[in-house]
Amino acid sequence: MDVKTQIKNQIQETLKEKFDYEIGVDEIRLERPQNEEHGDWSSNIAMQLTKELKKSPKEIAEKIIEELDLEGEIEVSIAEPGFINFKLPGRIYTENLGKILEEKELYGNNTRLSGKRIMVEFAHPNPFKSFHIGHLRNIILGESIVRMLESQNADVIRVNYQGDVGMHIAKNLWAFMDIDPKDYPKTADEKTKLLGELYAKGATAFEEDEKARAEIKEINRKIYTKEDPGINQLWELGKTWSLEKFHEIYERVYTTFEREYFESETLDLIDKPIEKAKEKRILKESDGALIFNGEEYGLDIRVFVNSQGLPTYEGKELGLAVLKNREYGIVDLHIHNVAVEQKSFFAVTFKVKELLWPEEFKNRQYHNAYEFVGLKKGKMSSRKGNVVLGNDILNIAHERIGEIIKDREEIDGKEETAEIVGVGAIKWSFLKISPFKYLAFDLEESVNFEGDSGPYIQYTYARAASILREGGNNEKAGKVEFDAAKYTQKLSAEEEKLLKWLERFPEVVEAASKEYMPNYIATYLFELSQKFNSFYKNNIVLKENEKEIRNFRLALVKATSLVLKRGLDLMGIKTVEKM
């Protein structure tokens, strides 16, 4: 039994025996005090029960402390107005150090989601349009969510849903038809650049030219009917160009998908659920269209089939549901990682799917509605063609890091290092704040080697790796000899703080996975890096003469490196051994 559970069980038993009050263990909260000097755990149970027990918080707290029968050397104290603080003995943390060295990259994992199948749908770039900074936030966040869920032993299905039919395609093809095939570009970058320019041209024409608007609408109709071989050929070509570039980006950010769905795949699967929804009066006719009257459920009114008889995004979502169920069956949870602007869309489509297929979808859908991303300066607009491209951001980060490390002789493979650190810098800057807050991206801040940045964390890992290469006391570089059960030396202040912070890692990972908030891990790793650097500055490691102390400190370095690497991996960030 872990110490936290032991404390909660003791409080539960004391309340039952001395106050004749029964409470569930889960209702007893133990939290980390903001001030580490106040102890390792704190409970507000005394304030929580003041009304029920008709006693002051301090009186309740004192009675609980009197009756606690905790094993070991746990120190218990009271802080105003009735907090019960617990300070654990150092041996618990040295024992945990041994656990980290034993579990290695598995430290922090648990089995909370064992047996659960979770489908995470993320990325969502649309062919014929650019992979912009918004898609970059989506894929970086989605990848981290997948990894966090996998750390909880979930069976995660990675999928991507991309819009390859619709007006944005028609606008693009309208302009594409004017390009002579002999002028088609050769490289993936040139192809996607051209597609972005064509979309901007078509979008502008659609707004400003009535004749062009009619032509684009007709192209859109033919995309659905597939009756025009020329349009079909251009559609296939543009889609191929887009996916070629998208897959380059996926590889750069270490993302793979088990299945990539496309809107065009859903078209033949929409009619049956639409008819079923009409029969059940879930969808109703209105001005020639089929709508869902969400007002009956406190939701918006949304169109599923327009007056031209074409399915909208909402209608295609029903076809996608049929396709997913056909291929994967019932899953425990569908997570849709899509920006906050689609809250209404998902609230409505979730409700319609729930009404159509309650067994498959009721209480099994979640919209991870993250906030927008933009630049600290300037605006973005794909219609005007000046969208901030995700690939450009990655390229510039690579270049900036390359400039910083170009004269560092100890680094082998500077290009590979610049790529890993550059991608990590962007990912860190996207993940270090809550996904549910607006992200004002600053590239120069992201590549800084100091402060709350990816390069700072990666450099801290590389420093730990360097210490282990030099000080490993086994023929296998970096391996250290340490027996936690036999270590009895008094801990320095920095050692104690670092040990205690390392012990927190599993609970941080669990909280981050429950709330889909990798920023919890980022905050933890930044603090870990600071504590580690303070420890190394104030404690002799490599030149320590006392073998037992030296081995212990090397074990601390090793454990820190393991947790840093694991934490970064959960954020989808790689490490380098030398910086």
**pLDDT one-digit tens code per residue, 547-557:** 999 999 999 99
3-88: what fold?
Gyrase A; domain 2 (3.30.1360)
Positive/negative CA dihedral, 140, 142, 146, 151: positive
C-alpha angle with apex 347: 344 to 351, nearest 5 degrees?
140
Residue 567 confidence (pLDDT): 98
| Residue 333: exposure state from Cβ atoms within 10 A (0-12, 13-18, ≥19) | middle
Q: Which residues contact 134 (CB under 8 A, 6 or more apart)?
A: 339, 372, 373, 380
| CA–CA distance, 120 with 116 (Å, rounded to integer) | 13
390-570: what fold?
Isoleucyl-tRNA Synthetase; Domain 1 (1.10.730)
Query: Residue 336 forms beta bridges with which residues?
Result: 121, 367
| CA–CA distance, 144 with 431 (Å, rounded to integer) | 9
| CA–CA distance, 413 with 28 (Å, rounded to integer) | 53
Edge to edge, the sheet with strand 75-79 lists 41-43, 83-87, 75-79
Q: Which residues of the chain form CATH 3.40.50.620?
A: 122-373
List the beta strands (DSSP E) in 423-531: 439-441
pLDDT reading at 421 higher than 80: yes
Q: Which residues of the chain form CATH 1.10.730.10?
A: 390-570
Backbone torsion region of residue 491, taken as left when φ is above 0, otherwise alpha when ψ lies between -120 and 50, otherwise beta:
beta
Q: Which residues of the chain form CATH 3.30.1360.70?
A: 3-88
What single string gives the DSSP state of each residue in 8-28? HHHHHHHHHHHH-----GGGS
Is the bond leading into 506 cis (omega within 30 degrees of zero)? no
C-alpha angle with apex 181: 175 to 183, nearest 5 degrees?
85
Q: Which residues contact 481 (CB under 8 A, 6 or more apart)?
A: 473, 474, 551
Residue 70 confidence (pLDDT): 74
**Per-residue pLDDT reduced to its tens digit, 366-385:** 999 999 999 887 554 444 44
Average pLDDT over all residues of the chain: 93
CB atoms within 10 A of CB 389: 22
Percent of the chain residues topping a pLDDT of 90: 83
Pair 427, 525: CB distance under 8 Å:
no
Question: Is pLDDT larger for residue 275 or for residue 484?
Answer: 275
Over residues 97-105, the mean pLDDT reads 96
The amino acid present at 204, given as its one-letter code, is: T
Residue 5 confidence (pLDDT): 87
HSE-up of residue 303 (Cα within 13 Å, Cβ side): 12
| Residue 178: exposure state from Cβ atoms within 10 A (0-12, 13-18, ≥19) | exposed
DSSP 8-state assignment for residue 389: B
Residue 381 confidence (pLDDT): 47
Q: Which residues contact 55 (CB under 8 A, 6 or more apart)?
A: none
| CA–CA distance, 174 with 218 (Å, rounded to integer) | 10
> H/E/C letters for each residue in 203-221?
HHHHHHCHHHHHHHHHHHH
Token readout for 65 is: 């402390």
pLDDT reading at 329 higher than 50: yes
**Per-residue pLDDT reduced to its tens digit, 124-135:** 999 998 899 999
| Maximum average pLDDT range among 39-48, 73-82, 569-578 | 569-578
Over residues 440-462, the mean pLDDT reads 96
**Per-residue pLDDT reduced to its tens digit, 514-550:** 999 999 999 999 999 999 999 999 999 999 999 999 9
pLDDT reading at 34 higher than 90: no
Residue 403 confidence (pLDDT): 97
Residue 475 confidence (pLDDT): 43
The amino acid present at 381, given as its one-letter code, is: S
Confidence tier at 471 by pLDDT (50, 70, 90): confident
pLDDT reading at 565 higher than 80: yes
| CA–CA distance, 142 with 555 (Å, rounded to integer) | 34
502 three-class SS: helix
Q: Lowest-confidence range among 53-62, 72-81, 487-496?
A: 72-81
When computed from its CA atoms, the radius of gyration of the chain, rounded to whole angstroms, is 29
| Residue 167: exposure state from Cβ atoms within 10 A (0-12, 13-18, ≥19) | middle
Go through 397-422 and write b for each residue having 16 or more CB atoms within 10 A of its CB, e for each that does not: bbebbbebbeeeeebeeeeebbbbbb
**Per-residue pLDDT reduced to its tens digit, 280-325:** 999 999 999 999 999 999 999 999 999 999 999 999 999 999 999 9
Over residues 337-359, the mean pLDDT reads 98
**Per-residue pLDDT reduced to its tens digit, 138-177:** 999 999 999 999 999 999 999 999 999 999 999 999 999 9
**Per-residue pLDDT reduced to its tens digit, 254-290:** 999 999 999 999 999 999 999 999 999 999 999 999 9
Positive/negative CA dihedral, 181, 186, 187, 188: positive
CATH of 122-373, one of 3.30.2030.30, 1.10.10.10, 3.40.50.620, 2.40.50.140: 3.40.50.620
Q: Which residues contact 552 (CB under 8 A, 6 or more apart)?
A: 94, 482, 487, 489, 495
| CA–CA distance, 315 with 18 (Å, rounded to integer) | 61
Residue 71 confidence (pLDDT): 64
φ, ψ of residue 205 to 5 degrees: the values are -60, -40
